[in-house]
């Protein structure tokens, strides 16, 4: 059984609302296309491209290699500190302190200089990281 339908009739304009005007068409020529990615805050810019081309080694691989190298150096530093502590005591740590401070600063400078995509931060972040590593070196080796 079908229900009766009421024919639709145009609605009369409301005396309380202002008359409507057609909205002008919006031009989308200045907007980015759907396939483009907006620039990120810390991404490599056109002014400072990465030293190693992303066509040669992809950005995620560059980050993996850089962070892996830094992690390996820090792990080796801990192993050396532990073995020196067990064998010699704490009297021979001062030369190691200077060695590891130099190594940490060289690592940070290398990562900063390579301008790896998505691993570029403001300079004060690198300085803060250097300060943290020097503090940890002083805690372990002095």
Residue 10 inside a domain? The answer is no
Residue 115 inside a domain? The answer is yes
**Spatial distance between the Cα atoms of 58 and 14, rounded to a whole number of angstroms:** 62
**Domain span holding position 84:** 59-141
Provide the residue-wise pLDDT of the chain in tens; the chain has 142 residues: 566 666 666 666 666 766 666 666 666 555 555 555 555 554 544 467 888 888 898 989 999 999 999 999 999 988 988 887 788 666 667 888 899 999 999 999 999 999 988 888 888 999 999 999 999 888 877 7
* Helix or strand (DSSP H, E) at 72: helix 59-87
Residue 63 inside a domain? The answer is yes
Residue 44 inside a domain? The answer is no
Residue 7 inside a domain? The answer is no
70 contacts 111 by C-beta, under 8 angstroms: yes
Residue 6 inside a domain? The answer is no
pLDDT at res. 46: 47
Contacts of 123 (CB under 8 A, 6+ apart): 112
pTM to 2 decimal places: 0.60
**Spatial distance between the Cα atoms of 42 and 119, rounded to a whole number of angstroms:** 7
Residue 87 inside a domain? The answer is yes
Residue 30 inside a domain? The answer is no
The total number of structural domains that make up the chain: 1
- 39 Cα distance to chain centroid: 12
Token match 């740590």: residue?
93
């Amino acid at each position: 059984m079908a229900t009766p339908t009421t024919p639709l009739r145009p609605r009369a304009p409301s005396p309380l609302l202002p008359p409507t005007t057609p909205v002008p068409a919006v031009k989308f020529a200045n907007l980015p296309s759907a396939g483009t990615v907006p620039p990120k805050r810390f991404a490599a810019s056109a002014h400072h491209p990465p030293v190693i081309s992303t066509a040669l080694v992809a950005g995620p691989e560059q980050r993996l290699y850089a962070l892996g190298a830094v992690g390996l150096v820090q792990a080796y530093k801990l192993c050396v500190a532990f073995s020196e502590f067990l064998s010699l005591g704490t009297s021979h740590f001062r030369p190691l302190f200077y060695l590891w401070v130099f190594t940490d600063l060289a690592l940070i400078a290398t990562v900063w200089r390579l301008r790896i995509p998505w691993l570029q931060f403001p300079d004060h972040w690198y300085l803060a990281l250097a300060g943290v590593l020097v503090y940890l070196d002083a805690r372990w080796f002095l």
